[in-house]
Structure 1
Amino acid sequence: MVGVLFVCLGNICRSPTGEGLFQDLVKRKKLNQKITVDSAGTSAFHIGEPPDPRSQAAAKLRGIDLSKQRARRVEAKDFEKFDYLLAMDAANKDALMRLCPPGSEHKIHLMMDFGEGTKGQDVPDPYYVGGEGFEVVLNMIENASNGLLKEICNKHL
C-alpha cells in the first residue's frame, strides 16, 4: 500500500482539496486497494473542523464530496505511515522538514513538483482570496495529481 498525505497550513482548503481530488482519481483508476490518501495541516488552527465551505462547494462542482473530512495536524507517525508527504507551498514544506525524523526527508515534496511545467511553484492559499481562487487551486492540484499518480504507478505499482 502506497500512502499519500496532502499538507497545508490549516487543513481546511488546499490539503483537503488535494485529498478529495486524488482519492477520486485513485478510485477512477481502480487503485484504491493499492493507494491510501489523507490530509493534514502543519498548524493546529482548525483541528476537528470540516473543510472550508468554499472548498467544499468548488469540489462539489466536480462531483467530489469533501464534507466528511475533518482537519487534523501532522503527527510523527505520519512520516512512517506515508510514502509521500506533499506540501502545498514552500513554507509548509519547511515546516514538514523541521518535524521530519532523520531518514524520512526523501518523502517530502512540493505538490506542484509533480505538475506539468509547475516544478517549484506554490499552490496559493485561497482562504483570503475567495471566489475563483478555489477554482485555481482545484486546477493546479488536478494537474499535479495526474503527474503524482504516474510517478506512483511507475515506482511502486
Structure 2
Amino acid sequence: MTPRAYRLCFVCTGNICRSPMAEIICRELLPGYGLGDGLVTVSSAGTDSWHEGEGADPRTVRELAAAGYPGGERHVARGFTAADLTAHDLIVALDRGHLAALRRLAPTPADAARIRLLCPDGTDVPDPYYGGPEGFTACRELIEAALPHLLTEVGTAIGTATGTDAATAHHGKQHLA
C-alpha cells in the first residue's frame, strides 16, 4: 500500500499573489529536495474569499513566468475553510496576520501547531498587490529564500533525504541572492 502524500497549503489574503506564488515555486522545487513523485502535494488558499474563482493576479503570473516557473496562468483562487485544517499536514501562512487568523480557526492546540509562518525568522512576506512589479519580484525572492528551510523540515518530517539546495533545484538555475 502506498503511503498518503504529505499535504501542504500556503495561505495569504486573497489567494491571487503570495500564496499561489509560493505554491507554484514550491511544487517546482519538490523534486530537488527528494519530495517529488507524489510524496508531497501542494495547494494554496486565501483567508478571505474576495477573489474566489479568479485567476492569479496577472503580475504574479508574469513574475513566475519570467523566473521560469510554469503554471501561474492555471491557478484558481479559493478561500481557506475549516475543512482545510484537517485536510493538510502543514498550513503555511505568508504573514503574521494570516497566522493569527488561521490559528483562531484551529479547534485544538494540535491543529494550531500545524500552522506556521513561511519565513523561519518570523519575517512577513509583504503583499505586493498595491505596488508595482518590483514588489512581485521581492515577493518571489523572499519565498525562494524561505522554501529551502521549509522543504528540509518537510523532508525530515516524512523521513526522506533531501536533495539539492533551492539554488540549483529549479532547472539548475541560480535563483537565490
Q: How does 1:27-66 map to 2 (within 5 A)?
A: 27-29=31-33, 31-64=36-69, 65-66=71-72
Q: Which runs of 5+ in 1 are unaligned?
A: 114-118
Q: CA separation in 2, counterparts of 1:75 and 1:131? A: 30
Shift in Å, 1:125: 0.1
Conserved in 1, the CA contact under 8 Å of 2:128 and 2:139?
yes
| 1:105-124 CA distance string (max 9 Å, x none) | 111001112xxxxx111000
Task: Verify the 8 A CA contact 2:33 2:151 in the aligned structure 1.
Answer: no
Cα distance in 1 between the residues matched to 2:157 and 2:98: 25
Q: Could you state the TM-score of these two structures normalised by the residue count of structure 2?
A: 0.82
SS in 2 for 1:58: helix
Distance 1:18 1:32, change over 3 A: farther
Distance in 2 between the 1:66 and 1:108 partners? 25
Q: Percent identity?
A: 38
Aligned-pair CA distance for 1:67: 1.1
Give the AA of the match of 1:24.
E
The residue identity in structure 2 corresponding to 1:3 is: R
Q: Letter of the aligned partner of 1:41 in structure 2? A: G
Matches of 1:63 and 1:131 in 2, distance apart?
Answer: 16
Measured after TM superposition, the shift of residue 82 of structure 1 is 0.9
Correspondence for 2:18 among 2, 14, 29: 14
User: TM-score, normalised to structure 1's length?
Assistant: 0.92
Alignment length (residue pairs) = 152
Runs of 4+ displaced beyond 3 Å? 27-30
CA RMSD in angstroms comes to: 1.2
